[in-house]
A and B are shown apart, each in its own frame.
Chain A
């Protein structure tokens, strides 16, 4: 009697195994859960990297605040370590005493059109309200902190527009 029950159980086990194993295998194949834990790192070189050219390190799109402003702001680093901000496809409105400054992008002043006091790094007067233009950056500058390029009208404390700079 005992032997009979035992063999019945092992027969059932066989069926369970025969059905369960393929299900487990296909579930593993479909989800490959081990891949969540295994990383596959690659590091392909840029096919056109050239060590003599300035390379972009930060970039962002300009958004208009007090005046319609558009284009791209990019910070380049030259091989000798100098950094500059370049505006491309740039357009803003002309105005009095307009400057290009860097400011912390989380500064709550930037969410307003008129600011009371802006913690900023001066890059110079705006060279033109349209077109591509470059501005040298001071040698020691914390770009982690000053991570927004701001078109700023000094006279009226107005933020014409700004770009949040993200790592290129």
Chain B
């Protein structure tokens, strides 16, 4: 019995010595809480756009996009979309018919914090960029490339 414990201790000591790898307790992580999956900052030149886009996963698996400290210019028929690209530049006519997109809804406000539901089954490894998109003029007001949080 004691030998087993000693062996275990020795193994633990070895593991500690050779793999200086730590896993601090994440006080944020609870099973019943929303998880932060991805985040990114907005950049925009056609219309100055700033703020942060973050994708959360709720406890039941639902995905939500949240914009914070958000500011863009107001405009006609502006939507929030996810596009299958690593990033979007600020060219006026940026969205080709070949670029896949997921519609998240009309922009609720051009300033302030806001949430958008993401359709279930959306592949976030494919749709990596949030775009504030003016449908009428096919213009990209601003884009936020998302990275793992």
B28, B52, B114: the one within 8 Å of A42 (CB): B114
Docked-complex contact A129 and B58, CB < 8 angstroms: no
Docked-complex contact A42 and B33, CB < 8 angstroms: no
Q: Which of A41-90 contact B (CB under 8 A)?
A: 41-48, 50, 53-54, 56, 59, 61, 72, 74, 76, 86, 88-89
CA distance A86 to B22 in the complex (A): 12
Known: A42-B111, A131-B22, A131-B24; 4 extra A-B contacts, CB below 8 A, are A36-B73, A42-B109, A44-B115, A48-B33
Confirm or deny: A109 has a beta carbon within 8 angstroms of a beta carbon on chain B: no
User: Which chain B residues have a beta carbon within 8 Å of chain A's beta carbons?
Assistant: 19-24, 26-28, 33-34, 36, 39, 41, 52, 54, 56, 58, 64, 66, 68-69, 73-76, 108-115, 136, 147-149
Q: From DSSP, what is the main secondary structure of chain B's interface residues?
A: loop
Residues of chain A at interface, number, CB under 8 A: 41
Of all chain A residues, which has the CB nearest B25? A134
Known contacts A31-B76, A54-B27: does B33 contact A40 (CB below 8 Å)? no
Docked-complex contact A47 and B21, CB < 8 angstroms: no
- Residues on B with C-beta less than 8 A from A72 are 147-149
A31, A45, A61, A127: the one within 8 Å of B147 (CB): A61
CA distance A97 to B136 in the complex (A): 57
Query: Which 4 pairs of residues, A with B, have the shortest CB-CB distance?
Result: A42-B109, A48-B34, A128-B22, A35-B74
Confirm or deny: A132 has a beta carbon within 8 angstroms of a beta carbon on chain B: yes
Docked-complex contact A54 and B28, CB < 8 angstroms: yes
- Residues on A with C-beta less than 8 A from B76 are 29-32, 35
Of all chain B residues, which has the CB nearest A55? B28
Docked-complex contact A42 and B108, CB < 8 angstroms: yes
- Residues on B with C-beta less than 8 A from A43 are 112-113
B27, B34, B66, B74: the one within 8 Å of A38 (CB): B74
- Residues on B with C-beta less than 8 A from A74 are 149
CA distance A166 to B68 in the complex (A): 12
Confirm or deny: A144 has a beta carbon within 8 angstroms of a beta carbon on chain B: no
- Residues on A with C-beta less than 8 A from B149 are 59, 72, 74, 88
Shortest distance between the CB of A41 and any CB in chain B (Å): 5
Shortest distance between the CB of B25 and any CB in chain A (Å): 8
A93-123 interface mask toward B, CB cutoff 8 Å, 1 = contact, 0 = none?
0100000000000000000000000000000
B23, B52, B75: the one within 8 Å of A131 (CB): B23
CA distance A36 to B73 in the complex (A): 6
CA distance A42 to B64 in the complex (A): 17
22 A-B contacts (beta carbon < 8 Å): A36-B75, A39-B109, A40-B108, A40-B110, A41-B112, A43-B112, A43-B113, A47-B58, A48-B56, A53-B27, A72-B149, A76-B28, A86-B24, A89-B148, A127-B24, A128-B20, A130-B22, A131-B22, A133-B22, A166-B52, A167-B69, A168-B54
